[in-house]
Each structure stands twice: as structure tokens, then as C-alpha cells.
Structure 1
């Protein structure tokens, strides 16, 4: 990440840290009850993701979409690719058309700001880092999980020092402003549906700040585009 980006992110996080507190893993019923609709259709969503995987070489690596993230995406020369359907409210028409059921769910839920398939390549490690905007929370739905030799899920998401090994069809709602990392200890690709969701129950000033930051990100997308 660039120095200017890091400084801006640190400043934003400090503002949120003073006004919003909460655990790293959140309650679906309280904080994103509509997430149950995605979990209920995980097999259909997985089928759409597997269709995308058949042309995985065409899907950009994360740092090709966001060069500021090269330190966590291009750190070890291994693949982490993102198929983005919606980014901070901006739809990607071709990608939405390729995944009609997921697109329909996303369009029916305005609080879902971003939606993507995350393809974590074999032996890829995403080093520890923190997201910047506590006004957004993240929903992970496991679609395709490689297995380790002992039968356990081979890919791990570690959030605030706790390891989460999700089986296919399982989900996690979490706050990515906590320190987190991920790795894939297998020779297969791990596939996750990742949603960025508007956080409910925020103070009024944090709602305004979050809305402003999202508008700024959208402006950046309009200028630079997204893969």
C-alpha cells in the first residue's frame, strides 16, 4: 500500500474507533438478517461461481483492480482473483449478467453495497491487514472449500487471532476493521461469496461519514473503473 493511502486509512479508522465498538464476529439476525437468503441459495450461487471459475484466467487479480492493495495481493506471487458484480453501489453489468440468481438477490437488497466472488489460489497467503470503514461489515459465504489431508477445511480466515474454517454453505458475518488474514493450504482454489453490507445501528455522525466515504469510493470507481 502507498504511504498516502495508509495514512488516510489510519485516520479514517481512528475516527470510527472512537465512535463505534463491537465484536469482530457479528450476529446475522441482528446485523444482516437478509444474509439468510444468500445462505439458503448457496448451491445455486456456487454453480454460478463455478461457471466463472472455468474462465478464471480472465478474472483480474485483486491488485490489478486496486494497486493500493499490492502488499497483500501481490506479496507472494500467488493468485487472489476477484470477480466483482457490484462495488460500493456501482454494478458491473457483464458480471451481473453472468450470475443471474446472485444478481437478483443483490439488486433486491440495497444495503448490499458490494458483491464479489473471491478466488483464493493454491498456497496463497493474504498477510494480516485491516479494512478502513467500520460503517461496512462483511458477509462471507463459503462456496467451494478444499480439504486438508486430515479432512478439515484447508483454507482459513483468521480474524482478531481466531481461526475460522468454514465448510461449504457456512457463513461468517464479521468486521474487517479488525486485524485479519487468510491462507489456503491446498492445491485447489477456495471460492467465497463476499458481500460488503451497510452497518445498521450507527450513530448519526458515523452514518454521515460512511455515506461520504462511499461516495468518494464511487467517484474513484467512475474515474478508474473496476475489473
Structure 2
């Protein structure tokens, strides 16, 4: 749904790009009769924070953020005073008939209301308000029937209402805003964008419309256009919190880390609708961490108190509530003993196949592309992603893939990957978290230098061993250092969180 001043995601850590402006409780919107394309529920917080949770020297004074904007523009104040004028002169003369049909709609008698508005449209085809009422009734009926076909009718009727002669400006605005919203709901992102562009052309002084247009550009991956829109908004309304957080996100996606911080921070401090989103807390904290500012954990704490994060440490956003949450796991705790034993028993075969690819000229190890490295060289070679096998990759390591086929807890994990990871000397991976609490991550050591390679998850640091498996929950903050004199090679196997039911594993959408 288009955010108001109020892809399927690939497997990416949360430091990678996201689609801002979507609200957790409604994102991503699917047609009424479809399953949501991605579960976006908040994980239940543990009854008490983990013992390893960082000690906070202080919480920002903004911790209890106001729900109201800190500063209201004159335009916004004026808009609150004015009641929308939805009737033109002619519609004033048939107001009683319109009200009768509208009363049916508000009472939930949607079919009767639609019949009444259809009769009014037939009787008064040039009435914008009657046409708008018909669109609203179709919209309500689509929700009741969970029908895309009916919703498409509403989308078309909204357009008709906006294009009739003598349609009041307030009605044009209401009609096209709802049309853009419903188009986005149906997945017609470009159509929604076109409607919003039209709205901004008609009402160039309406900041909220420009903010929504910026989100529409972001949803299409057009950050350049979104950036231009938010620069326009901030030039005229420098205190607009919604524009600030989105502009800050764009700057961060451009790796302008220090520049992004004041926009993200001031946007969150504004408390304006559309700013209280876990992803903005996440990216502000990440930016602060990368500049060495320990107040990052203060903001993570605020995000936790606001219900966006399970804890200061565990900051994944695509979660299933109530799953056991701990950073490190033993083999016995996972219940995946057979898989771990098989990995450790076959580690030399897995290593040799990986080395044959690494030593070749095929270029199958690709550079990490999520901007997680502070420095260094980190390559990955993926066999399974989102529960889908890569046949071409598996032809290069046939024995590894053949034995993995027996372990569906890994190969069917739609919220994970199976891949080789090679890291050269001098590499540091920023503290980061994975996107979901629905998986656990296994690391099998293949080539591990004697010293200099380590991984921290929360406040516990471990080292890999050749032929041994480490298991951790990557929804918790983790960080990697490779300070050895030679490369490090591991095999990464993501598995379903053991507490997920078979039904959940089948119905959860991919990440």
C-alpha cells in the first residue's frame, strides 16, 4: 500500500536496501484473495533481555517520541481546519439521494448501497459525487468478496469520477488518492505511480502527496527520482519528518553514511506519521555504528521499546512470533544432528569440490554485494537460495549437492541459502543482522588459518575449526574479522528454525 504521511525481497541482510514507507502491519499488500507476499509480523520479545545485552549509558531524550509532528507547516494547519468539499452545485441539489445511498454503505449494507449508487449514476451520469459513491461501494464490496475483479472496477470508477466536468478539487484529490492506494494494493505499482504523479501536478503545494510520490518511486527502485522529490519537499518544508527519514535512507543507500544520520535521526525525533518504522531505527543505528557512535545502541533500545525489535541485539524484521531466541545453538538444541554429522563426516569432499571451483577460471565465486564490508575481499558461491536449487552451480560440486538433497530442513528453507564463503586476509564485516528469525545458520569450517579468523554473535566471539560446525541465529547482531595471512573458506547451510511447524515451513513466503 502506498505509504501516507502515514521485490519480493531477495536474501539480503537488513543492512541492504529495503522498501521504505511500507507499514509493518500492512506490508507488502497483496490482492484481497492472495496470501501476503511476505510475513511481516513482529517477533515476541523474550521475557527478559539476554544477559549479553549491551549496557546503555543513556537513552536519547527522544525515546518517548511524540506521535504528533514537532512542527506543523501552515499548509498542514490550514488543511486540518478545512472540511473537504465533495459536492458541486448540481450535487448539492441531489444531496438527500446521495446521503441515502451513503448511509447504506456506512451501515455495511454494501450491495444495497452499490445498487443505489448505480441507479444514481444512471440517472445523473455527470454527477462526480454519485460516481465517487459508486466507486467506494465497489471498493467495499471487493473487500467483502475478496475479489480483485471487483476492485479493478472500483479503480476504474475512481478514475471516471476524477475526470468528470466540474469535479470539486477536494473530490479529485480524495478520488485519486484512493485510486493510487488500490492500484498499489493490486500490485500495479507503475499505475499507482502515474496516478500520484497526476495528483502532484494538480496539487503541487500538497506535501503529503509529494511524500507519497517519493515512496512510489522507491518501490520501483527509482531512488534518483525519489531523492529529487524529497529534496523538493525539504526545500519548502525543512522540518518534514517523513521526508527526512526517507531522504536519510536514500543517502545511506548511496553509502553517504555520515550525511544520512541527521536526516534519519531528526525524522524519527519528529514522531510524524510514517516515521515510526523499525527499518528507520535499524538504518540509523547501523549508520551510527559505522561511524563509531555508541549511541546506536540507544536507538536500538528505542526501537525495541517501540516493539520493532525483539531486543537490542536481535533486530530482524521479518519474523514469526514466539520462536526460541538465542544467539548460539548446540547441535542437540537444533534437532538436526544427522545433518551436522553428515556435514562433518563429508567435510573433506565438500572442501575439495569448493577448491576446484575456487581454483578454476569460471568466476562462480561472486563478490559480496550488500555493502556489509568495511574493507577486504569476500566472495560467495551459492547452491540453494530461497529453497530453490541452482542446477548450474551444483554441476560444479555434484557430490556436495547430492548428499544435501537428503536434508530438507536445509534445501527447503525458503528463508535461507546454502553457499560457500571465501574471505581474504584483511577483511572486516560490519556488525549486522539477518532479515528473519525463521532460520538458523550453520558454518562448516573448510580451510581455517591457525589464527586471525573469528566471528562475534552478540557479546560472544568464537573461531571456526576445520571439519566442525558452528550454529548461530543470524537474526542477532554478528561481526566477522579475517586477520590471518591466508584465505578462510567455510560452507554456510541455513536451516529452518526447529520450532516452525511443517505448515509454517510450507506457507511462509521466501526471503
TM-score (norm 1): 0.78
Is 1:212 the counterpart of 2:489? The answer is: no
**Corresponding residue number in structure 2 for 1:4:** 19
Q: RMSD of aligned C-alpha atoms?
A: 2.7
Residues 1:51 and 2:356 are matched in the alignment:
yes
Aligned to 2:345, which of 28, 40, 56?
A: 40
CA separation of 1:25 and 1:2: change in aligned 2, threshold 3 A: same
What pairs up with 1:111-130 in 2 under 5 angstroms? 111-112=409-410, 113=413, 114-130=417-433
What does 1:191-206 align with in structure 2 at a 5 Å threshold?
Answer: 191-202=489-500
Following superposition, the deviation at residue 52 of structure 1 comes to 1.7
Query: Which deviates more from structure 2 when the two are superposed, residues 48-57 or residues 103-112?
Result: 48-57
**Deviation by residue 1:44-90 (Cα, 9 ceiling, x = unmatched):** 11111111220378121120xxxxx22x04x32x2110000111211
Query: What corresponds to 1:184 in structure 2?
Result: 482
The Cα shift of 1:15 comes to: 6.5
Q: CA deviation at 1:129?
A: 0.4
Which of structures 1 and 2 has the larger relative contact order (alpha carbons within 8 angstroms, sep 6+)?
1
Matching residue of 1:26: 329
Number of the residue aligned with 1:92: 390
Q: Deviations over 1:161-217 (max 9, x none)?
A: 111112211211110011101110023110000001011123799x36x84332xx3
How far apart in 2 are the matches of 1:62 and 1:9?
A: 24
Superimposed CA distance per residue, residues 87-128 of structure 1 (whole angstroms, 9 cap, x where no aligned partner): 121111121111112101221111113211000111101110
Residues 128 and 179 in structure 1, CA contact (< 8 A), matched pair in contact too: yes
Partners of 1:37 and 1:9 lie apart in 2 by 40
| Normalised TM-score (structure 2) | 0.36
Aligned length: 200
Aligned residues of 1:106 and 1:115 also touching (Cα < 8 A): no
Q: Which runs of 5+ in 2 are unaligned?
A: 1-15, 21-277, 283-307, 309-314
Larger strand percent: 1
| Alpha-carbon spacing, 1:186–1:110, altered in 2? closer, same or farther (3 Å) | same
**Structure 1 unpaired stretches of 5+:** 64-68, 148-152, 218-227
Q: Structure 1 pair 91/3, CA: closer, same or farther in 2 (3 Å)?
A: closer
Residue 145 of structure 1 pairs with residue 448 of structure 2: yes
